[in-house]
Amino acid sequence: GRGGAYIFERGDDGAWAQAVEFAPPADGEIRGAGSAVALGGDAVYLGAPSDAGPGAVLRFPASGGSPTLLPSPILSAIDRFGASLSLTGDLLIVGAPGTRDDRGAVHAFNADFPATGPSPVAVLSLADGRGGDFFGSSLSGAGAAVLIGAPGFDSGAGAVVLFTHGDGGEWSESARFSFPGEGPGGFGAAVAFDGRSAWVGATAVDRGTGGAHVLGVTVTETAPGLEGEGAIPAPGFAVESRFGSFVALRDDVAVVAALNADLRLGAAVVYERDGGAWVEGTILRESTRTLDAVTGGEAPCTDGATGPFDCSQVDLVAFVPLAALGAGPGTIVNDIWGWTDPVTGRDWALVGRSDATAFVDLSDPTRPRYAGELPLTEGAIENLWRDIKVYRDHAFIVADGAGSHGVQIFDLTQLRDAAGPPVTFAETARYDGIHSAHNIVINEETGMAYAVGSSMGGETCGGGLHMIDVRTPAEPVFAGCFADRETGRSGTGYSHDAQCVVYQGPDEDYQGREICFGANETALSIADVTDRENPVAIARGEYPNVAYAHQGWLTEDHRYFFMGDELDEAQGGVERTRTLIWDVADLDDPLLLKEHFAETGTIDHNQYIRGNRLYQANLMSGLRVLDISDVENPVEIGFFDTVPDDTGLPAFGGAWSNYPFFESGIVVVSSWGEGLFVVRVRGRAVS
């Protein structure tokens, strides 16, 4: 998007409030404004390093208003001009790390540049630079010097370079300091410099866990130099946390950010100088939402709300916050599925956490009981995604980006004995034919499971359908691969999610065949997988403004397929939440019957159909329920917003998924940073 920036001020009561907004012109080609920010006197500078063309810098009056544009001096390349900014003296220093095949360059301008588009007063580069150095990815100026990061230098080890300018305005390289460790360092991904000390982020250290280094500035007769004073390891963060992604320094206080810590919520660590040493202080984390549990009796939706939750025609049966689901700091919930014990009749919610699967007893839905958890596979990596399906009283669990996680198989009948304190369970079996997978699909009629979006090892099948015979649940057997290579962003047939059925729709050519409908990033994929050894691509459905075909579900008569695109709202392809309605009466020629636009503008995620109702987890707008009796004209008949006080933006968070298939009529909803909701939609679905 275009981006922007804001100034917040703290009032006498300690509360922060927005004071000024800086927004680029709506009619321009600015992208990514606010990726870098510099404040100086009566002006605010925003870097806008577009990924689609040359970047720019916008200078705003500090009080807001219309900006003055400083375009990239190179107008024919994606140079990432504006990726980093710093003010030193009367100069604005601008990084352009994408210049010349990512060698990178840094431009110095007079900070009061005119609207006519000035030429730089200097252009800095590495004399021995090579493509991939990304010189200018970060920079920080103080006095007559500027410290510049080149995190790709020396095949990814990284380096920082100190440039100084003399009284005559000439610039020269005064010192260089390369990553002192082994292997990729990403040293120079971020820098902070005050003239006497420098902090340098090294985000690639230890498989992306990251680190930081403190440098001292030495003074010689000819020019200042740099010397290492110590390494700062990431304080207990996980792999891929990117500690060192941002650094800040003022006087005797430094702050180091870990952009991806706590499952991308982010964190920052404060350090204070004590004598000659830097001492770790507070770790700043995203505040855990402190929502109270709601149990012991239904909370009806009245006058558009129940407690802090907005709603319409959907009543809250119970709410279980994250901590009561066994979640620790930084843990989220993701996918959800359900199981009804065929012996006891008891309903269970199977709630995915980033680190485990939680089992919740719903025998009294107004008093959900956390019975225990199945941790992720030993040695696997905790990540955002976990997905669950059920077949023959066994749960099949996968995780994406999790290393050698495999498919966990858990005998759910063990839950009958979990009547006391929460139990930490062990898996019943494990299938290691794949390592990580984004989702798992099961056709309960045939006993076939399909791992989709597989990666990181094993037989990935290009990310398409990795077929597994699970008719004997604890003894899974590989059954084949299918991928339509005309789909997927990488041309491998990657499937983000799918639904596989024994087809009973109107197309007589395929009745009784096992058909899979895949949301394959770039298109709808329809395949006949009846013959596992010779699966066949039947057709693919393409649609306008595609961003990321995510997930979908068939109507019960197999005539229509409702599908969501996960990124079309966030990327600005559409202004309101869009659901794609496919007519699949002729499987060889799927037709886009309708693009349904909701009143919300948030991201549609997982959706399921029961009878004449579509239950859509709509991230920051919660659960939305649509009557699809008239398929071409869906009507929203109710909603329950799981995120109090949100702004309704197309952002990630909120309702991840839902399970509407319990015979009791309750619907369970997993909400990213909140927990488990048990709700009841008024009225009954009609099959």
CATH number of the domain to which 155 belongs = 2.130.10.130
The DSSP 8-state label assigned to residue 33 in this structure reads B
Q: pLDDT, tens digit, for every residue of 310-362?
A: 999 999 999 999 999 999 877 899 999 999 999 999 999 999 999 999 999 99
Phi, psi torsion values for 264, nearest 5 degrees = 75, 5
Kindly indicate the confidence band of residue 589, based on its pLDDT and cuts at 50, 70 and 90: very high
Q: Is residue 171 part of a domain?
A: yes
Edge-to-edge strand ranges of the sheet holding 145-150: 138-142, 145-150, 159-165, 171-178
Q: Which residue range forms the structural domain that includes residue 206?
A: 31-285
Phi, psi torsion values for 682, nearest 5 degrees = -70, 145
Q: pLDDT, tens digit, for every residue of 73-107?
A: 876 678 899 999 999 988 999 999 999 899 999 99
For residue 440, give every residue at least 6 positions away whose Cβ sits within 8 Å of its Cβ, in sequence order, or none: 387, 388, 389, 396, 397, 398, 407, 449, 450, 451, 452
Q: Is residue 632 part of a domain?
A: no
SS3 state at 406: coil
Q: pLDDT, tens digit, for every residue of 552-571?
A: 999 999 999 999 999 999 98
Q: Is residue 476 part of a domain?
A: no
The tokens for 319 are 């709410």
Q: What does the pLDDT read at residue 588? A: 98
Q: pLDDT, tens digit, for every residue of 524-563?
A: 999 999 999 999 999 999 999 999 999 999 999 999 999 9
Q: What does the pLDDT read at residue 264? A: 79
Mean pLDDT, range 142-160, rounded to an integer: 96
For residue 433, give every residue at least 6 positions away whose Cβ sits within 8 Å of its Cβ, in sequence order, or none: 406, 407, 451, 458, 459, 466, 468, 476, 478
Q: Is residue 617 part of a domain?
A: no
Residue 288 has pLDDT above 60, yes or no: no
| The model's pTM | 0.81
Mean pLDDT estimate for the chain: 94
* Residues 617/605, Cβ–Cβ less than 8 Å: yes
Kindly indicate the confidence band of residue 687, based on its pLDDT and cuts at 50, 70 and 90: low
Q: Is residue 428 part of a domain?
A: no
Q: What does the pLDDT read at residue 275? A: 85
Using alpha carbons, list the distances in angstroms from residue 508 to 26, 443, 502, 535, 592: 51, 20, 13, 19, 20
Q: Is residue 54 part of a domain?
A: yes
Q: Are strands 159-165 and 145-150 parallel, antiparallel or unpaired?
A: antiparallel
The DSSP 8-state label assigned to residue 136 in this structure reads T
Domain count, the chain: 1
Q: pLDDT, tens digit, for every residue of 461-473?
A: 999 999 999 999 9
Alpha-carbon span 248 to 271, nearest angstrom: 10
Q: Is residue 80 part of a domain?
A: yes
Q: Is residue 277 part of a domain?
A: yes
Pick from 155-159, 201-205, 569-573, 623-627: least confident:
569-573
